[in-house]
A and B are shown apart, each in its own frame.
Chain A
Amino acid sequence: MNIIVCIKQVPDTTEVRIDPVTKNLVRDGVKSIVNPFDMYAIEEGVRLREKHGGKVTVITMGPPQAEAVLREAISLGCDDAVLISDRAFAGSDTLATCYTLSKAIEKIKDYDLVICGKQAIDGDTAQVGPGVASTLDIPQITYVRKIEEIKDNNITAERATEEGYEVVQTKMPCLITVVKEINTPRLPSLKGKMKAKSAVITVWKAADINADESRLGLKGSPTEVWKIFTPPPRPKGRIFEGDPQESVNQLVELLKDLNH
């Protein structure tokens, strides 16, 4: 079973500070990490390979320094890594990113499953996983919290919803995005770290993935960011204390007032 894991290098938000003057994120000197949700994708890929055999190829689109997250993925058990990196990709929105990743996945060709984290912690769009699947025209299962079975080219998975979960089955090749309930990512091994250190990372440029240039980077990105703001914090709740009967009455009165 051949698995492709898509990961992203993101700034470690636990270390991000806001510039008091410009109100922008200060990214200088901030450590870059593997997008935390992608760690679950890597772990699931490695576990599936341990169970079913095959290999795990990890890919990322980003600047040359994004190579670091690919090496980390190798230290965690991935077999191969491809960095998709070209100045032509600069300024990609999610649409152009989906296109670029899809072209790279098409080039890898021989795959059964693509795994993505549910979203990246910097953009928080959760669009790239589903976008890659639709660009590739393969089925997708999002927010997977458990893979129940992989058998006869079919995958059965539990996908988390707000109310509970759904059990979905589809044909492979397909794409899944995973949530953190799916597993507990392992720590790297020493052998993995050594392998990562000496691994040769394949780099593909725009020409290598046979991409239509008009669909890449800024040119291929219709999204315009109008405004970035911090949503207002949720107002404090009210706790009714004291006699339960009295508290319930108070609550009912209040709800009536709120027209509920």
Chain B
Amino acid sequence: MIDYLLTEEQLMIRDLCRQITDEKIRPIAAELDKTEKFPWDVMKVMAQSDLFGVYIEEKYGGMGGGILELCIATEEFSKGCAGIALCYSASALGTYPIILYGTEEQKKKYLPPLARGEKLAAFGLTEPAAGSDASALQTTAEKKGDHYILNGVKHFITNGGDAETYTVIAMTDKSKGARGASLFVVEKGTPGFSFGKKEDKLGIRASSTRELIFDNCKIPKENLLGKEGLGFIAAMRTFDTSRPGIGAQALGIAQGALDHALKYAKQRKQFGQSISSFQGIQWMLADMATQVEAARALVYASAREVDAGKKDVATHSAMAKMYASDVAMKVTTDAVQIFGGYGYMKEYPAEKYMRDAKITQIYEGTNQIQRNIIAMGLIKETAR
């Protein structure tokens, strides 16, 4: 691995997360993949180890780091199980709108329990008819006196049902289209707020995915984050900030699969020798390792750019997400290939990485949408 000149604190996070992955995540990854049980025990360990707060300011109970710290943790966890890692990182996605748009009062109220990992968060944007076209939202928030009344359904919400704190986008003025969307905090247990069925997924099966159902759900007006009409922009800015995190998840999946493939290639004997002695396998491993390292360089660099407070990070964070997830899909597929027939069997670890990798090309904006963002960035830049 290239030396990315991480700080002492970042190295500490990496070592601690690696220890948790080896001792607490790897032993249960295959089991949770089968049972789809939510990994509460691991969440408790991560909380006790202060890891839910790595990207949250110290005055709100965090450790004072940023997206790079979150990426380092997510990468390590994902090496062991991307589903478990997602329960952790999706909470960050749900938390970021509060960090980016919360008032001092809102931050003081919501961030400390999230930083301590006592509560998980989730982000609710996607709807049945609004996937890539996030402006087609149907969920409404109608202002009535001191309250908003939410109605509608969000679906495919990671941590849905298991999280306590939800940041949700709803239309406050449908006539304004994307400019009529607003961002709210909704807490589990609010009357009128319930959950749909748990989805049965191809991969990341330790992570829970459910519908959020709002049926005349009444929330106080203090739960509005930022201003009315800011919701769509807030969602986009949240993604610009959080996308290196998906890159880190993809990176961890790819590295995890590569580690298994390399180990297997050295052990597996055919034609009287280790298959790692064959050039055909060597070249595959060389390509995989290079792609993983290139993805890491891009993920870390874009995370650093976000942490440095650079204004327009959309292009680079889209690149990090898109490239790392394409690498994850390719590297995990090649890892299955190196395992041969064993790679196709669930008894061996390779196929799970391949199933887990696929989602990283899809969620938080499909890789086609990422390419749109990158292209728009290029065109805008040259138009200046």
Task: Give Cα distance in the complex from A190 to B16, angstroms.
Answer: 8
Q: Cβ of B63: which chain A residues have Cβ within 8 Å of it?
A: 190-191
Q: Cβ of A188: which chain B residues have Cβ within 8 Å of it?
A: 16, 19, 49
Determine chain B's interface SS by DSSP, over half rule: helix
Task: Give Cα distance in the complex from A111 to B49, angstroms.
Answer: 28
Whether the pair B8, A187 counts as a contact (CB closer than 8 A) is no
CB distance from A95 to the nearest CB of B (A): 37
Q: How many A-B residue pairs have CB under 8 A?
A: 32
Which A residues between 179 and 200 are near B, CB-CB below 8 angstroms?
Answer: 186-191, 193-194, 197
CB distance from B72 to the nearest CB of A (A): 12
Which residue of chain A lies nearest to B53 when distances are taken between CB atoms in the complex? Answer: A190
Task: Give Cα distance in the complex from A190 to B53, angstroms.
Answer: 10
Whether the pair A187, B12 counts as a contact (CB closer than 8 A) is no
Whether the pair B50, A191 counts as a contact (CB closer than 8 A) is yes
Residue interface bits B112-149, CB-to-A below 8 A is 1, else 0? 00000000000000000000000000000000000000
Q: Cβ of A191: which chain B residues have Cβ within 8 Å of it?
A: 50, 63
Instruction: Tell me the count of chain B residues lying within 8 A, CB to CB, of chain A.
Output: 16
Which residue of chain A lies nearest to B51 when distances are taken between CB atoms in the complex? Answer: A190
Task: Give Cα distance in the complex from A25 to B257, angstroms.
Answer: 35
The verdict on B202 contacting chain A, using a C-beta distance below 8 Å, is: no
Whether the pair A186, B48 counts as a contact (CB closer than 8 A) is yes
Which residue of chain A lies nearest to B69 when distances are taken between CB atoms in the complex? Answer: A190
Task: Give Cα distance in the complex from A191 to B23, angstroms.
Answer: 20
The verdict on B213 contacting chain A, using a C-beta distance below 8 Å, is: no
CB distance from A155 to the nearest CB of B (A): 26
Known: A194-B9, A194-B12. A189 touches B50 (CB 8 A): yes
Task: Give Cα distance in the complex from A186 to B49, angstroms.
Answer: 9
Whether the pair B54, A187 counts as a contact (CB closer than 8 A) is no
Known: A193-B16, A197-B8. A187 touches B45 (CB 8 A): yes
Q: Cβ of B51: which chain A residues have Cβ within 8 Å of it?
A: 190
Whether the pair B12, A190 counts as a contact (CB closer than 8 A) is yes
Cross-chain contact of A190 among B23, B24, B50 (Cβ < 8 A): B50
CB distance from B358 to the nearest CB of A (A): 31
Whether the pair B16, A187 counts as a contact (CB closer than 8 A) is yes
Whether the pair A190, B13 counts as a contact (CB closer than 8 A) is yes
The verdict on B178 contacting chain A, using a C-beta distance below 8 Å, is: no
Cross-chain contact of A187 among B9, B13, B20 (Cβ < 8 A): B20
Could you write out 21 A-B pairs with CB less than 8 Å apart? A186-B48, A187-B16, A187-B20, A187-B24, A187-B45, A187-B48, A188-B16, A188-B19, A189-B48, A189-B49, A190-B12, A190-B13, A190-B49, A190-B51, A190-B54, A190-B63, A191-B50, A191-B63, A193-B16, A197-B8, A197-B12
- Known contacts A187-B24, A187-B49, A188-B16, then 20 further A-B pairs from the complex at CB < 8 Å, ordered by chain A residue: A186-B45, A187-B16, A187-B19, A187-B23, A187-B48, A189-B48, A189-B49, A190-B12, A190-B13, A190-B16, A190-B50, A190-B51, A190-B54, A190-B63, A191-B50, A191-B63, A193-B12, A194-B12, A197-B8, A197-B12
